[in-house]
Chain A
Amino acid sequence: MPLLSRIFEVTVHCRARFLHRDVLDMVKPDFCVTQNLERYFWSTRSDLNALPFFLIPHLRDREPAYSQKALEIIGATFSHGSLRHDAMLRMLRRGRFPGAHLRRIQP
């Protein structure tokens, strides 16, 4: 739904059947939307079955392949309140996309 990313300043989409509490607490969003599909409904299970979200690719024999830029932006987005996250929002609010400066922020 590309409409959503036109509405919000930061939009995070996680392909997942559960609400992952770990992600909720990393991103600390203002709004959360969950979505399911009819054809999967028969296999609905409790969210208590959710695994740590970042382990899922490894458990499914898939490998994430982050670009350097994606690593920086996803790292900032998933660490709400960190210096990186603050810097990312500051740049956006100046009308610029975050760039190399995120790399210069020391953990």
Chain B
Amino acid sequence: MGDSVLSRLKATRTAGLEVENDVLIGRNGTLFIFQGGHKLYEQAQGKHPLTAEARDAFAQNLRSRRALCAERGIGFAHLFPPDKQVTVAEDYPLRDVYSIGAAVREQLDAPFIWGGDMLTRSDFHRTDSHWNIHGQFKMMPPLLHELGLDDLLPEVLGWRDGLAERKFTGDLGVKLSAQPSEIASVLPPNPDTTRYGNGLKPAGNEGTIEVVLNRKPLVRRTLLVFGTSSTQV
């Protein structure tokens, strides 16, 4: 009996859903976080819709961040990527997927980069919860524009020609007993960069620091990012 068959037997079938180790196995073998720490499947059903409190806190944060940066002569942009089930909805087992990001975009007339209007199915890994390098390339035009760095765009987009391919099992794939893999495009290693971190143990989210130095950058400037694993450098 093959691994994938064993995996399917181990998976829990609830109301037509195939779930193993909190990973939802969607159509075409596309993997999604099932509930995670934020009841994602309930969110996708619209059971936790946008609240005025969260929307207004977000709007106020954007205003104060922009003002803080402007006072210091720092260029500012805010990036809001969609969740995978919003972008790869055709592989998700719900007919209508609720998107809190789309609701924020609709209700707020504030400048931020919402990826929900730009990304498509091919911009996410099949076995990972994150966008792939193609999705990241798609975010470059609005991001560089917001930072006033449009002139860098042709060179940055030209890096797509140097992508390599490798076998990859994403953060969701490794949670399944079958360990499904995919072929993913990756940037080749860059010998002109080195990275340093604060080595948090156990590895976690908040408080992690990564610094990357580049001796042959496109611009001799410093970028500071406050974000999640989606913007990890």
Q: Which chain A residues have a beta carbon within 8 Å of chain B's beta carbons?
A: 1-21, 23-24, 27-47, 53, 56-57, 60, 62-67, 69-70, 73-74, 77, 80, 88, 92-93, 95-98
Contact = CB atoms under 8 A, between A and B. Distances in A.
B215 interface: yes
B5 interface: no
21 contacts: A1-B231, A3-B136, A3-B159, A15-B206, A20-B226, A30-B222, A31-B224, A32-B69, A32-B223, A33-B223, A35-B79, A36-B227, A42-B38, A57-B198, A62-B200, A67-B199, A70-B211, A74-B196, A92-B214, A93-B220, A98-B213
A37 B222 contact: no
A14 B195 CA distance: 13
Contact of A12 (B48, B78, B194, B223): B223
Contacts of B51: 42
Given A35-B230, A95-B216, 6 more contacts: A8-B219, A9-B213, A12-B211, A30-B74, A44-B54, A74-B196
Q: How large is the interface on B (under 10, 10 to 19, 20 to 34, 35 or more residues)?
A: 35 or more
B214 A8 contact: yes
A77 B198 CA distance: 13
A35 B136 CA distance: 13
A74 B231 contact: no
B217 interface: yes
Given A5-B214, A7-B219, A70 B199 contact: yes
